[in-house]
Structure 1
Amino acid sequence: MPIHNSDIARIFNQVADLLEISGANPFRVRAYRNAARTIEDQPQSVAGMLDEGADLSELSGIGKDLAGKISEIVETGRLQMLDDLEQEMPGELAKLLNIAQLGPKRVGTLHRELGIDTLDDLAQAAKAKKIRDLNGFGAKTEKKIREELKRHKGAQARTKFAEAEQLLTPLLDYLGGIEGVKQVAVAGSYRRCKETVGDLDILLTCAHDSPVMDRFVNYEDVSEVSAKGKTKSTVRLRGGLQVDVRVVPQVSYGAALYYFTGSKEHNVAVRKRAVEKGLKINEYGVFRGTDDDEERIAGASEEEVFKAVDLPYIAPELRENRGEIEAAQKGALPELIVREDLRGDLHAHTRATDGHASLQEMIEAARELGYSYLAITEHSQAVSVAKGFNRKRLEQQIAEIDQLSDELSGFRIFKSIEVDILADGSLDLPDEVLAKLDLTVCSVHSKFNLSVEKQTERIIRAMDNPHFNILGHPTGRLINEREAYAVDMEKIMGAAKERGCFLELNAHPDRLDLNDRHCRMAKEMGVKVAISTDAHSTAGLKNIRYGIDQARRGWLSKDDVLNTRRVADLLKLLKR
């Protein structure tokens, strides 16, 4: 069975969760979380690296012990340490982590204080109003836990985009190499770059005698074959993701790609437009006439389909029936941002705090990406587990950057910090040192359970500080892991515009925060967005592509994005 980077990262994160629940040393917990992040950020398959004889202990933050555990996972598909931890864990404690309001610390508290071992225990305690009295919970959190338990019962699992990508890329290569296969394309929500996908839809054209379906159902990562036919087969991969493969005629390829890309709401609106013109659109093409006497007038390409209903091509990321059809009709579709528009990254960490590369290594990686600048944004002192900077350490790094800058030509290192927004809205470092920086990324890392009014007030009060530039990962959500904290984003954006502040679109695939709707809101309110990676390694800088996808879903153009500017223009915008 193939072992993907996401499999290894998932196991290491599970180990970290169980260690944290049991009250293990925080630095040991952090080591497994950092290792998971390192593996996730690797552009190359770690299993493939082992096959080529690579020494994984040379990867930042791995070491010989963790390298041995990675080898064990690749060779056996499991980790004995995780099995042992799960056996030691009472009841179903690990399952409690699937409830959005509960992280390892809270699960540990629930177990120690209330003896909660199972989901049923949790439901009974919430119903009996026992949870609200625990330190760090409260009545609102208790209510959210009850609501989350109800959702959890009927929830359909969705896979994060980046995890789906790791499964999809080798499968597409495999299908494309089968005899007689001509075209292979992914459709569905994946092609629309949604942050999570329910399943994968793959379309292909091929010669009539191609063995593609026989080969597909025997792909090494398939765990279950649900259906097998000449034109459609459905399987489930070992990780649980369903994949449908359809063979379509060349003449219908564009129509099928359009139809199965969706969204359903977009397709319905375009079909309605077609009916008004006396046409019919389906996965086989665009037709004129009656069922008894139909003429196919388009279908080989998506451009043909749109042209048949008098519309320009609409990018897949926009196909959600959120005004894109009306904009297309008026010739007002945005010119969506592309990766080449970005000139730098405004959120990155080094090993001085919780990153895995040196300052010099991060700079070189940014230059290799074609950037002309990089902001070094270590954590501030409130994030003690990440060795956050106090004033003295920040001033030392400022001096180091000044020295490095003298040795560089054509590249700017922005002196910066990811400074915590404290509970009272103050920033975690004094103004005198913040004034020495080129920019600040200001983030909430604690007190996620404040009311929407208090959380909004807290962030706006922080924006009142003249040294506040960019609001980092503005809602604090982690996809499939932690819900966004309650905050009034419209008020936040209004305050940002009034004060000359900006919002981050954090491109890490676990965050993608802002979401697409908030990106659109920022555009409409005239608040510029910084697309940044929050990179903790050189490989992490490449996650920028996920942020670009999200920005495109949010209708963002080059002008809407802060870090498309040249250095001088960017510095002007950053001045309060």
Structure 2
Amino acid sequence: MSVINADIAHIFRNVADLLDIGNANPFRVRAYRRAADTLDGLGESVVDLLDRKEDLTELPGIGADLARKIHEIVETGRLAFLEQLQQKAGASFSDMMEIQGLGPRKVKALYDALGVRTVEELEQAALDGSVAGVRGFGAISQENIIKEIRRRRERGRRFLYRTARQAVAPLLEYLRRNPDVKHVEVAGSFRRCRESVGDIDILVTCRRGSRVTAYVTGYDQVSEVVSSGKTRTTVLLSSGLQVDLRVVPEVSRGAALVYFTGSKAHNVALRTRALQKGLKLNEYGLFDHEQRIAGRTEEDVYRKLGLSWITPELRENHGEIEAAGSGRLPRLITFDDIRGDLHMHTMRTDGRNSVREMAEAARAKGYEYIAITEHSRHVTIAGGLGPSELREHCRHIGRVDREMEGIRILKGVEVDILDNGSLDLPDEVLRELDLVIAAVHYSFELPRQRQTQRIVTALQHPLVNVLAHPTGRLIGTRDPCDVDMEAVIRAARDNGCLLEINASPRRLDLDERACRMAAEAGVRMVVGSDAHSTGQLDMMQYGINQARRGWLGPDDVVNTMSCSELLEQLGMKE
């Protein structure tokens, strides 16, 4: 079975939720959640580790029992223990627990009081007013449940970009092993690096007479063949991800990539431009009457339309066509431009590796510097640090920094912004740090004016350098705070603060529109991995994708600077 890390993590989280509902030992519940986090943060596939016969118990939080369960999931695609828990509970509860604001205990309370087992039954109970009568709920909770269920239905089922990437990678490898296949390329929103995708478009060129569309149905993760023909096959993978595979002729490969990569608005704008030139553009090529004048490569298609090639991340019809026509497309940031990572956690709070291990992993990636930014005391669930604890930790960071060669370790903190905009730690402690990142971790529901003033007040603090994950969103599970981003961007500019692009696949916060708006206002940004393990340092690439979608170049992002330049930039705040 071609199981991906996200599948195993999802199973472990379901186990944790059901154990929590059953009032199991909290340490056991936490062990499954920690194992899921470890799997999410791995830089490589668990299947690959097992193929190399590596010992899974060497991974953080994975003991012998969990390692055996991972083996079972990889070999069978299922976990008998989870099925036993589901049978015992009488319902899986999984879908209900994905609704914002409903944790295991609340779902159990609803089940015990109302017998609801599915999202549909929960919605009906909320609509008829039954939820409001359950202890721990009320009219506001009931209304929020209705709104969230409707929002989820409108969004449809979407997958985080990273999850989709994990699911599609082994399928691409499977296709490339077919000797009849010449080229395999992913198009659609996935190629544009959208933060979430609904399905995957794969374009294939192959030898004449080959049966690639039939070959894909033999992939071991296909759970359903929706349709199959000579040039197109649609399948559902066991993860629920839909894949549309199209076989295209070599002569049309570039045109097909253009057609199936761009957003609808981008493609309409391209076709309109073609018509204005007396040409016709479709997935088979660019035509002057019946003569194909371009189509083999994307570059040819764009060039014949009078445009320079447009990188996929920009193909949203947000001005990229006009810029390509006048030679004004920006030089976008790449991973190679990054010289350090300024947001990460260690085992001193909720991370899974030591300061030294994080520094060694960062040095291996070629970084010149990192900042260790533990949580402050208000984030009790993450073991946040108070003043004396932070000072002690900073002394430890300093010792490791002096012992390490080839990388600088900066002392930082991710300090909570309290309801009134004040910070969770005193100034005399913050003044001792190289970097102060301020963040909202609670009271996400504050009214727009209060939430905006809360953040603006924090940005006005003379010791704050960065605003982390500025809108607080969790893609697909928590909407952004209701905040005036224009006011936040002005406050960042006026007070010399940086805005973070948080690279966690669940956050990717700021979004691309706010990135571009901030850059146009003269606000610089920092791309931070928010890594909680060495494996999660690789999440930096997702932040880079987001920065590219926001039209950002290296000069817009401060962690492309040398360490001395960065420290000078940070020192300008005071």
TM-score scaled by length of structure 2: 0.94
Summarize the Cα distance change of 1:537–1:176 in structure 2 as closer, same or farther, 3 Å threshold.
Answer: same
Distance 1:200 1:364 in 2: 36
Q: Indicate how the Cα distance of structure 1 residues 229 and 195 shifts in structure 2: closer, same or farther if over 3 A, else same.
A: same
Match of 1:475 in 2: 471
In structure 2, distance between residues paired with 1:521 and 1:528: 11
Flag the 1:137–1:391 CA change in 2: closer, same or farther, 3 A: farther
Distance in 2 (alpha carbons) for counterparts of 1:479 and 1:531? 18
Amino acid at match of 1:173: E
Is the CA contact 1:101–1:483 (under 8 Å) kept in the aligned structure 2? no
Show CA shifts across 1:292-316 (max 9, x none).
xx11111111111111111111111
Match of 1:453 among 449, 461, 471: 449
Q: Counterparts of 2:440 and 2:138 in 1: how far apart (Å)?
A: 20
**Do the aligned partners of 2:468 and 2:500 also contact (CA within 8 Å) in 1?**
yes
Q: In structure 2, do the counterparts of structure 1 residues 555 and 137 end up closer, same or farther at CA, with 3 Å as the change threshold?
A: farther
1:158 and 2:158 correspond: yes
Query: What is the SS of the residue equivalent to 1:377?
Result: strand
CA offsets 1:414-453 (integer angstroms, 9 cap, x no match): 1001111222322121111111100012111212222222
Structure 1 residue aligned with 2:6: 6
Question: In structure 2, what is the Cα distance between the partners aligned to 1:558 and 1:155?
Answer: 33
Distance 2:403 2:220 in 1: 51
Contact 1:180 1:209 in 2 (8 A): no
- Aligned residue for 1:440, secondary structure, equals strand
Tell me if the contact between 2:363 and 2:406 (Cα under 8 Å) persists in the aligned partners. no
**Matched residue, 1:334:** 330
Deviation at 1:33, TM superposition (A): 2.1
Alignment of 1:221-260 (within 5 A): 221-260=221-260
Q: Return the offset for 1:412.
A: 1.2
Query: Which of residues 362, 377, 384 is equivalent to 1:381?
Result: 377
Structure 1 unaligned regions, length at least 5 = none
Instruction: Provide the residue aligned with 2:261 in structure 1.
Output: 261
Q: Which runs of 5+ in 2 are unaligned?
A: none
Match of 1:513 among 499, 503, 509: 509
Matching residue's letter, 1:16: A
Distance in 1, matches of 2:446 and 2:25, equals 28
1:568 to 547, 564, 567: 564
CA distance in 1: counterparts of 2:285 and 2:316, whole angstroms: 21
The answer to whether the aligner puts 1:298 opposite 2:279 as a matched pair is: no
1:105–1:430 CA distance, 2 compared to 1 (3 A): farther
Per-residue CA deviation, residues 149-191 of structure 1 (Å, 9 max, x unaligned), is: 2234455211111111112111111211211221111111111
Aligned sequence identity (%): 53
User: C-alpha displacement at 1:384, in angstroms?
Assistant: 1.9
Provide Cα deviations, 1:531-575, integer angstroms capped at 9, x if missing partner.
111111111101111111111111111111121111122112212
557-566 vs 96-105, greater mean Cα deviation = 96-105
Conserved? CA contact 1:26–1:385, under 8 Å = no
Residue 396 (1) aligns with residue 396 (2): no
Cα 1:391–1:86 shift into 2, 3 Å: same
Q: What residue is the counterpart of 1:174 in the other structure?
A: 174
CA shift in 2, pair 1:458/1:121, >3 Å: farther
Structure 1 residue corresponding to 2:418, chosen from 422, 425, 445: 422
- Aligned residue number for residue 496 of structure 2: 500
Task: Give the deviation of 1:225 after TM superposition.
Answer: 1.6
Per the alignment, residue 366 of structure 1 pairs with 362
* Counterpart in the other structure of 1:30: 30
Amino acid aligned to 2:436: T
User: In the alignment, is residue 98 of structure 1 matched against residue 98 of structure 2?
Assistant: yes
- 1:58 Cα deviation after fit: 1.0
Give the match's secondary structure for 2:374: coil
Q: CA 1:381/1:336 → structure 2, altered by over 3 Å: closer, same or farther?
A: same
- For 1:526, which of 522, 547, 555 is the aligned residue? 522
Q: The residue matched to 2:313 in structure 1 has which SS?
A: helix
User: Match for residue 270 of structure 2?
Assistant: 270
Cα 1:238–1:121 shift into 2, 3 Å? closer
202-211 or 183-192, larger mean C-alpha shift = 202-211
Partner of 2:482: 486
CA contact (8 A) 1:8 1:36 kept: yes
- Of 272-281 and 11-20, the range deviating more from structure 2: 11-20
**What is the SS of the residue equivalent to 1:165?**
helix
Query: What are the equivalent positions in structure 2 for 1:431-446 lying under 5 Å apart?
Result: 431-446=427-442
Letter in 2 for 1:65: D
My pick for the range that moved more, 140-149 or 392-401, is 140-149
Q: Could you say what secondary structure the match of 2:435 adopts?
A: coil
Aligned letter for 1:14? N
Q: CA deviation at 1:260?
A: 0.8
More displaced, 97-106 or 201-210?
97-106
Pairs within 5 Å for 1:64-75: 64-75=64-75
What is the rounded CA distance, in whole Å, between the counterparts of 1:346 and 1:44 in structure 2? 23
| Residues 179, 210 of structure 1: 8 Å contact kept | no
Contact 2:9/2:40 (8 A) holds in 1: yes
Distance verdict in 2 for CA 1:496–1:26, change over 3 Å: farther
Q: Which moved more, 1:436-445 or 1:450-459?
A: 450-459
TM-score by length of 1: 0.93
| 1:316 aligned onto 2:312 | yes
Q: Does the CA contact (< 8 Å) of 2:2 and 2:170 recur in 1? A: no
Cα distance, 1:22 vs structure 2: 4.7
Measure, in 2, the Cα distance between the counterparts of 1:113 and 1:449: 27
Q: Is the 8 A contact 2:355 2:400 kept in 1?
A: no
Deviation of the 1:195 alpha carbon: 1.1
Cα deviation per residue 1:447-486 (whole Å; 9 max; x = unaligned)? 2222222222222222232221111112222222222222
Aligned to 1:188: 188
Shift of the alpha carbon at 1:125? 5.6
Contact kept in structure 2, 1:455 and 1:487, CA below 8 Å:
yes
Residue in 1 that maps onto 2:409: 413
CA distance in 2, matches of 1:40, 1:91: 26
Q: Note the alpha carbon deviations across 1:66-93, whole angstroms, 9 max, x for none.
A: 2222122223322233223323436574
User: Take 1:65 and 1:422, find their aligned partners in 2: how far apart are those partners?
Assistant: 41
Report the Cα offset of residue 333 of structure 1.
Answer: 1.4
Amino acid at match of 1:559: D
1:244-289 Cα deviation digits (max 9, x unpaired): 2212111111101111112111000110011011000011111112
The number of residues matched between the two structures is 572
Measure the CA separation in 1 of the matches of 2:117 and 2:208: 56
Q: Distance in 2 between matches of 1:220 and 1:128?
A: 44
Match of residue 85 from structure 1: 85
* C-alpha spacing 1:108/1:260, structure 2 compared with 1 (3 Å): same
Distance 1:484 1:23 in 2: 32
Amino acid at match of 2:123: A
| Cα displacement string for residues 339-376 of structure 1 (whole angstroms, at most 9, x for unaligned residues) | 01111001111111111111111101000111000010
- Kept in 1, the 8 Å contact 2:369–2:410? The answer is yes
Deviates more, 1:476-485 or 1:358-367: 476-485
Are the structure 2 counterparts of residues 511 and 417 from structure 1 closer, same or farther at C-alpha, using a change threshold of 3 Å?
same
Secondary structure of 2:204's match?
strand
Is the 1:463–1:499 Cα contact (8 Å) retained in structure 2? yes
Q: Following the alignment from structure 1 to structure 2, what is the Cα–Cα distance between the partners of residues 511 and 519?
A: 14
Relative to structure 1, the CA distance from residue 11 to residue 559 in structure 2 (aligned partners, 3 Å threshold; closer, same or farther) is: same
| Structure 2 equivalent of residue 537 of structure 1 | 533
Contact 1:96 1:119 in 2 (8 A): yes
Q: Are 1:341 and 1:564, in contact at CA under 8 Å, matched by a contact in 2?
A: yes
Counterpart of 1:251, as a letter, is V
Where in structure 2 are the equivalents of 1:35-54 lying within 5 Å?
35-54=35-54
Contact preservation (8 Å) 1:179, 1:211: no
> In the TM superposition, what is the alpha-carbon distance from 1:2 to its structure 2 partner?
2.2
Provide the C-alpha distance between the structure 2 equivalents of 1:4 and 1:137, rounded to a whole number of angstroms: 37
SS in structure 2 opposite 1:202? strand
Aligned equivalents of 2:332, 2:5: Cα separation in 1: 31
Match of 1:350?
Answer: 346
Higher mean alpha-carbon deviation, 90-99 vs 474-483, is at 90-99
